[in-house]
Amino acid sequence: MLVQKYVDMLEKKNIIRILSEFATNRGNEIGYDNVFDFSLGNPSVPAPQAFTDTCIAMLREKNPMELHGYSPTLGIPYVRQKVAAYLNQKFGMNYTQDHIFMTSGAAGALAHAFRLICNEGDEVLTFAPFFPEYHPYVDLSGAILKIVPPNTEDFQINFEAFTDMLNEKTKAILINSPNNPSGVVYSAKTLEKLADILKEKSKHYGHEIYLVSDEPYREIAFEGVQVPYPSRFYEDTISCYSFSKSLSLPGERMGYVAVNPACRDSKTMIQMCGQISRGIGHNCPASMFQLAVAEHLEDTADISVYERNMNLLYRELTALGFTCLKPGGTFYIFPKALEEDANVFCQKALKYDLILVPGDSFGCPGYFRMAYCIDTNKVERSLPALRRFVESEYPR
């Protein structure tokens, strides 16, 4: 008598979780320090001390009734205003607080975005390789997630496959740049071309095709890489942000939706997010953390460690003969496996205590993901294991 769709979800295996549990169990045997666990995308650097200091100061000095009081459903006006001003200054936008809705991280932002624009049966297109959690966010809004096959050349967009899949049911395009799992940053050229197609097709089908932009890694960009802001390229854009990665606060669930002011009914869309939030009983993210992140919009945790780790891995992987794009950001790298079935490849790696995630669940078979948000020391110690694995299993 329980609702079947949630029972069904329980039965689906999550490969990342399975591998992560394997790593934990193996850690109990040989010490977790000796397991080269590249399975999970959890930030591995602490929140900035200044952020902690802000929280402590607020707890000490602020009236607890204000600090812990009800936030309006849309978020605290002061916070929304600061977010708008920050985005305007950083990306040359013209948001006001009326275009910002505070959420439970990017996950909450995405779930609101799809409920806002998708009716039952509408289609959402995303590009492989993609973050598998997009499935619950889209599926449970009643829409259907369709995966555009990857452009394995550079992990930009496979425009040919994309234009073939666009149809009158397409309501939204979901992008994620810098990308989990490839680490690739969409170029301005990619975003321009995407915008051109969407403008034309919106006109052709007589309804908006929204661009939903998932941006939790926006700040994690490596040397010389600029991350173009998708909303600058296309008016009907809903940007979904999270402070989980930039400030290393994943458990506090803080993020926002920013609707491009040029979007028709942009302010109504934000108001509607408030109604969606009422319906799911969420109401708002934690008020104290809303107030705290507002004081640290320009800050990040010490994310330089991710670039250090990336360089170590990239150098070793290419030296070992892997086909591998150099990530422009995030804390992921997505090389091609050394045999066709990446599941078999990753299975073999386990013997060397290397926990790698096959690309199948990211919509990209034959590749594998390494999440290098771990201690640099462990990355260094993993390199000989990686070499042993490759030389033993795949001798040239």
User: Which range in 7-15, 178-186, 318-326, 338-346 contacts its own copies by CB under 8 A?
Assistant: 7-15
Candidates 91-99, 265-273, 322-330, 332-340: pick the segment binding its own copies (CB under 8 A). 265-273
Total interface residues for its own copies by CB under 8 A = 74
79 neighbors 286 (Cβ within 8 angstroms): no
Question: Per-residue x/- marks for its own copies, 87-126, CB under 8 A?
Answer: ----------------xxxxxxxxxx--xxxxx-------
- Applying the rule CB under 8 A, the residues between 180 and 209 that interact with its own copies are 207-208
Q: Which is nearer to its own copies, 108 or 366 (CB)?
A: 108
Q: Which residues in 354-393 contact its own copies (CB under 8 A)? A: none
Cβ 213 to its own copies, closest distance in Å? 15
Query: Which of 23, 47, 184, 357 forms a contact with its own copies (CB under 8 A)?
Result: 47
123-182: contacts with its own copies (CB under 8 A): 133, 136-137, 139-141, 171
Q: Which of 21, 68, 160, 347 binds its own copies (CB under 8 A)?
A: 68
Question: Binders of its own copies among 213-252, rule CB under 8 A?
Answer: 248-252
Q: Is 304 in the site for its own copies (CB under 8 A)?
A: no
List C-alpha distances in Å: 383 to 211, 314, 374, 387, 390: 39, 11, 14, 6, 11
**Residue 278 touches its own copies, criterion: CB under 8 A:** yes
User: Least distance to its own copies from the beta carbon of 75, Å?
Assistant: 11
The whole-angstrom separation of Cα 328 and Cα 332 is 10
Rank residues 14 and 89 by Cβ distance to its own copies and give the closer one.
14
What is the sign of the dihedral through the CA atoms of 127, 130, 307 and 38?
negative
